[in-house]
Chains A and B, each alone.
Chain A
Amino acid sequence: MSDRSLTQTDLSDPALYDAGIPHQVFAEIRKQPGLSWNPLQGEDGFWAVTRFEDIVEVSRHPETFSSATGHIQIYTVPDDCLEARASMIDMDPPNHSRLRRLVNPGFIPKNLRLFEPIVRQRASALLDDLVAEGGGDWVEKIAKPIPISIICDMLGVPEEDRNYMIELTDHLVAGTANKPLDPNAYGNTTPLRFLPFESPAAFALDNYARDLGNKRRAEPQDDLVTKLINAEVDGEKLTEAEFTNFFRLLIFAGNETTRSAMSNLVIQMVNNPEIFASIKDNPDLIDGAVEEIVRVASPILYFRRTATCDTVLSGTPVKKGEKVVMWYASGNFDEARFAAPLDYDVTRPKMPHIGYGGGGVHTCLGAGLARIELRILLEEILKRDMKISLAEPPEYVHSNFVNGIEKLVVRLG
Chain B
Amino acid sequence: MKKILIMSISAVLLITASCKDNNYLDIEPRDVVPTDKMFSDPALVLSVVADLYQRQLDFSSLDNGWASFADFSEAFPSENGSSFFVQRTSWGWGEWGTWDYGYIRDINLFIERATASTLKEEDKKIFIAEGRFLRAAYYFELVKRMGGVPLITQSLTYEGDALSLQTPRSKESEVYDFIISELEAIKSDLPALVNIKSRATRAAALAMESRAALYAASIAKYGAQRTPNVTLPGDEVGIPATMANAYYQKALAAAEAIINGEAGAYSLYRANSIDLSDNFAAIFTDKSDANKESIFIEDFKVGTNKVHSFTVNNQPYSRSEEGADAGRLNPSLNLVQAFEKLDNTYAPIPTVNASGDPIYYTNQQDIFAGRDARLAGTVMLPGSVFKGAAIDVRAGYQNASGDFISTGTLPGTSTPAVGLDGPADGLEFRTQTGFYIRKYLDPVTGSGRRGRRSDVPFIRYRYAEVLLNASEAAFELGDKGKALGYINQVRNRAGLTTPLNDLTFDRIVHERRVELVFEGHTLFDMKRWRLAHIVWDGANMTVADLKSDIGSATKHNTQPFSLWPYLYQNPGNANHNKWIFREVKLGRITGANRFQSGNYYSQINDDILSRNPKIVKQPNQ
Asked if A and B bind, the verdict is no
